[in-house]
Structure 1
C-alpha cells in the first residue's frame, strides 16, 4: 500500500506534473524524503495516476513496483560499523563478481509503467560511482526516474546536481506532528522530523535512555572535562542526540547567559563537523572540552 505522508503538500502537488527524469530531494534526515519517493513510485505506476488508488494491481503490492534504493552499507564485511560511508562503483555499474547494481536493474523494462531508483546518500558516492551515475543521468531510459537524496545541493557533486531538479524538504511544523504525539520531550528531540517521532514512539525505552544520557551530560558539566567527555560518548551514538542536548541545554540557561550562547555554538559546530565526516573521536574530545569550559565561563584553548 502507498505510504501515508505527513506534510510536504506543496511537493506532493508538484511531483505529478514534473517531466524531469532526475530529481534531487534535499533536506534534514527523517523528514520524509524516502516516503515521498515511494509515494511517487506508486503514483507513476497506478492505473489511475496520482495519487495511487490503493486498489489496482500495482497499488496493492506491499512495496512499490520496480523500485530500488541504493545506499551506503552501514557495516563492513566483518560486521563493524563503517566509518567511511560511501556508495561504491559496484552498486551503480556491473562488476565481474556480480551483485545487484543500478545499470543492470535499469536495463530491463518495468512491470507496469516506470522504474524509480533512489540514490540514498548521493553526497556519499565515491568518484568512480559518481562518474558511472553521471552517464545514467545524461541518457536515462525513457521509463526511468532517478531520485538523489542528500542533505543539501551543495554537498552533491555539481555535475550530478546540475542534471537534477531540486525539491527542498524542510522540517515539519510541530502542529503537523501533533497527529502522532504531543509529548514535548519527543517533539523537542524530533526537531520537525517525523522519522525521529516514530523512532521515539516505537522505542520508548531507548528514547528514555537518550533523555537520561542528555541529562547526564548536563550534570557532568559541573564536575570536570573528563566526566563531560565520558557522558558525551553514549549520546553521540543516537541519531539527533546532540540536537536534543542543545534543546535541553538551551532550556536550562537563560537567553542572556553568555555560557548558553557559547555552549550552543559548540554543539552546532560539532554537528557540522560530524556531517562533514570528521572523526567522531576528534569531535568528541573537542566538544567535551568546549562544553565544560563554556559551563565554567572560561575561554577554551581554541578561543572563539
Structure 2
C-alpha cells in the first residue's frame, strides 16, 4: 500500500475530530440539529486550518443516510454510508469542488450555474464548494450573485477564502460567514502527540514544541513539517535534528543577546552575532526567537507567575525578566519585531542584525549611567535646597537700586541698540554696575545638589509674581542717553494703541451702461441661462456701447481684460442667450482692455463695503472695547469678522482676538 501523508491520513472526518475550531463546530452542529440551514456558507481563515475539511464534513452531514440507509440531516455523519465514503474519497457526484485559483473566469461559473438547474442525482442536497473564492473575476462574481442569493432548495453553496477583504460586499452579504482561527502552539502540539503516538514514532517534547511553533497556527503545515522531520530523523524526532531541519535559533543564543543588552555590554553583543555568523544561523530566526523570549519576559514582569511551569523556557525568561526593566523590555521587543523588516535592506544580514541590536544601546538606561574614570562631570540640573531658596535675599525693586559709581574709562564696544529716552518728569533709577567676578578660592562652595521628591513643590512655585503695576514700572525704567549699555538690553512693555479707524472703501464709479448690463445678465445667470465660461465673460465684461444693426437687433460692445474670455465661441454663446432673452437678434463684440464698471467689480465693492462696516461695528462695540482695555495686548483679527447676509440684520459680531 502506498504511503499517505499525515495531513491527508489524519484529516478529520467528522466535527468531533476537528481541533481548535470549537466555535465553528458548535454553530454548525446546532444549525444541523435544529434544521436551521442556510443556503450559502463562507469559511475564512489562513491556510491549513480546516476550511475545506469543514466543507466536506458539512456536505456529509447534509447527505448522510446512516448505516441502515434511513438517516437524515445530522450533525454527526456516520462515515460508512455511500455519501460519507464517497465524499471522503472525493468522488461523490453531488459534491462539486471548484478551485477558483485556476478556474476563475465567467465561463466556469456559467457552467456551474447550468449544473445547478438539475436536482441531485443520488444525494439529498447538491453542494457546490468554491475554494479561494476571492480570486474569481468581477464578472464571475456578478454572474453568481442571483443564484447565490436564491438557489434552489436542493442546492447549498460553500465558499472558502484566505482573503475575505477581496470579496465583493454583495457576495459577503449573501453568505453566513465563519472565521476559522489560527490554532495555538499548545493545541497543535497536543494533536501532534496523538498523531505520533498513533504512528508509533518516538518524539522529544522539545521537537514537538519546535514543530508546533513553526506551523504558525496551521495544522496542515504542522503535519507536513512532521512528515519532513520523520524523514530527516530516520523515523524518530529529536530536538537537535528538528532544530537543524527548521534552521531555528536556539533559545540560549537569544538569551545571551538579551542578557548582554540588559547589561549594556556592546562587546558581548558583537561576539554573539559573530558566533551566529560562524554557525550559519538565520538572523531573522534570531530576532524571532528573541521576540518570543521578550514576550515571555513581559508577561512575567506584568503578571508574575503567569508563565507555564511545564514550558522549559519559562525558567530562563523569569531570570532575564529580573535583569531588564519593563519599559526597556517593551522597547527591545519593538526594536526586534520591527527590525526583521530591515534585514533585507542590506546584503549582509548579520550587519543589519548588529545595527538592530545596538539600537537599544543608543537609548539611555533607566537608572543613572556610569561615568568613565577621569571624565569631567557636569553639574546636574537639579533644584537648590528649599532652605537656600527661602534665605536668599529678595530681588531689589527699581526704586531701591544703589547709585552708579563713576564711569570707567571708555572702551571700544560693539554697536549697541538704541536706548529709549525716558519722558520728561519721572525719575529714572540708574542701573547698578555688575560686580567683578570673585576669585576661585574665595567663592563659596555650592550646596550639594539634591533631587526633588513628589511632595516638594518646584522651585518656581515659591517665587513672587509681580503685579501689573510693578511690572509696568519696572519695564518703564530706561537708561539715560549717556548711560553705558549692560549685557542684557532693557525691554519696555509694549503699550497697546487705540483701535485704529477702519479705512474707507475706495469709491466705485458706475455708469448707466453698467446698470443696464447688470440688470440684463443677472436674471439670466440666476435662471441658469449663463453658465461656466459664458457667465464669467458676462461678469468680467464692461458694456461700452449698444448700437442698432441695419439687419435688425443691436450690437453689444464689451471690454474684457482676460484673453481667455475673448474667445469667439464664448461671444457667440453669450449672443445667443441675449437673443433669446431680448426677443431680437443680438451681436456681441469683445474688445481688449481693463473693465472699469464690471459686475465683478461691483460685487467685490459690495462685499468689501460690508466687511468694513462689520469691522467698524465690532470696534465700536462697548464690550469689545472693555475687553481690549482689560487685556492691553489684545488685538482684533480682521479676518474673523464676517458680515451677515443682507437679511441677517447686520454684520456678524463674532470676532477672534489674539491672546494678550
TM exceeding 0.5: yes
Alignment TM-score, normalising by the size of structure 2: 0.33
- Please say if residues 40 and 175 of structure 2, whose CA atoms lie closer than 8 Å, have aligned partners that are also in contact: yes
Q: Does 2:41 correspond to 1:8?
A: no
CA shift, 1:21, in A, is 0.7
The equivalent position to 1:68 in structure 2, one of 86, 96, 103, is 96
- Please say if residues 212 and 222 of structure 2, whose CA atoms lie closer than 8 Å, have aligned partners that are also in contact: yes
What pairs with 1:1-304 in structure 2 (closer than 5 Å)?
2=13, 4-16=17-29, 17=31, 18-47=36-65, 48=71, 49-61=74-86, 62-63=89-90, 65=92, 66-73=94-101, 87-94=104-111, 102-110=112-120, 111-151=122-162, 153-177=164-188, 178-181=190-193, 183-204=208-229, 211-212=246-247, 247-251=288-292, 256=329, 258=331, 260-265=333-338, 288-289=344-345, 293=352, 295-297=354-356
Decide whether aligned partners of structure 1 residues 5 and 157 sit closer, same or farther in structure 2, where only a CA change above 3 A counts: same
Aligned equivalents of 2:192 and 2:110: distance in 1? 41
CA shift, 1:188, in A, is 0.5
Aligned equivalents of 1:69 and 1:263: distance in 2? 43
1:114-134 alpha-carbon deviations (Å, 9 max, x no partner): 122222112222211111222
CA shift, 1:165, in A, is 1.1
2:27 counterpart SS class: helix
Aligned equivalents of 1:245 and 1:113: distance in 2? 54
CA shift, 1:251, in A, is 3.9
Unpaired segments ≥5 residues, structure 2: 1-11, 66-70, 194-204, 233-241, 255-271, 299-328, 360-660
How many residues in Structure 1 have an aligned counterpart in Structure 2?
A: 247
Q: Rg bigger for which structure? A: 2
Instruction: Tell me the C-alpha RMSD between the 2 structures.
Output: 3.8
Alignment TM-score, normalising by the size of structure 1: 0.66
By relative contact order (CA 8 Å, sep 6+), the higher-ranking structure is 1
Aligned equivalents of 2:286 and 2:126: distance in 1? 41
Decide whether aligned partners of structure 1 residues 248 and 118 sit closer, same or farther in structure 2, where only a CA change above 3 A counts: farther
1:63-112 alpha-carbon deviations (Å, 9 max, x no partner): 373222222447xxxxxxxxxxx822233123xxxxxxx22332332221
1:19 counterpart SS class: coil
Aligned equivalents of 2:245 and 2:107: distance in 1? 37
Decide whether aligned partners of structure 1 residues 139 and 293 sit closer, same or farther in structure 2, where only a CA change above 3 A counts: same
Aligned equivalents of 1:134 and 1:260: distance in 2? 47
- Please say if residues 153 and 166 of structure 1, whose CA atoms lie closer than 8 Å, have aligned partners that are also in contact: no
Aligned equivalents of 2:85 and 2:169: distance in 1? 38
Unpaired segments ≥5 residues, structure 1: 75-85, 95-101, 233-241, 271-285, 300-304
1:54 counterpart SS class: coil
